[in-house]
Amino acid sequence: MKKIFKTSAMGILAALLMGNSVNAFAHKVGLIDMQSIYSQLPQMAKIEQTLKSEFAERRQELEKLQGDIRFEAEKFKRESATMSEEQKTALRDKIQQMQKTLAEKGRPLEQEIKQRQNQELAKVQKLIFDAIQDVAKKGKFDEVRVKETTIYFNPDKVSDLSDKVVEAVSKK
């Protein structure tokens, strides 16, 4: 009788442990493709357009300066044979001064543009991460991974949530 009781108890315990391990394998994983999400979001195009218009005047100024430098450099190449040393030196100095001005104006502009891009991207990233959490909670996913950092996944068992995230962020 004791032997049957022990065997039954062990059987029930084994069944309970197996039931828990089966639940451990029922781990629902979702995958997102961040590059795909960024490329499909209307907010990204809006950011690009906003930054273009915000910095258009200063960029045009730099492009004009670059054109002037090219013109003066070509002029130097064409006419240097007929120029006096004094004229050559003056034109060289003018070109160098223009290049210095371009560098002095160009670097801060690039830094400012990058800073603004980062500010705008941070806003979009927050929307994306919030949408990922919402989609994962609604779909009852245990884990969401980034596709770019995942070496292998079984497409039959792992859901790609990228389109759902894009849809959720696009509504905001």
Decide if 92 contacts 76 (C-beta within 8 A).
yes
Domain count for the chain: 1
pLDDT in tens, the chain (172 residues): 444 434 443 444 444 444 444 444 568 889 999 999 999 999 999 999 999 999 999 999 999 999 999 999 999 899 888 888 999 899 999 999 999 999 999 999 999 999 999 999 999 999 999 999 999 999 998 989 998 888 887 877 888 888 889 988 888 7
pTM of the full predicted structure?
0.66
Residue in 111, 128, 109 with CA at minimum distance from that of residue 37: 128
**Domain that includes residue 149, residue range:** 2-170
Beta-carbon-side half-sphere exposure of residue 77 (alpha carbons within 13 Å):
6
Residue 16: which CATH number? 3.30.910.20
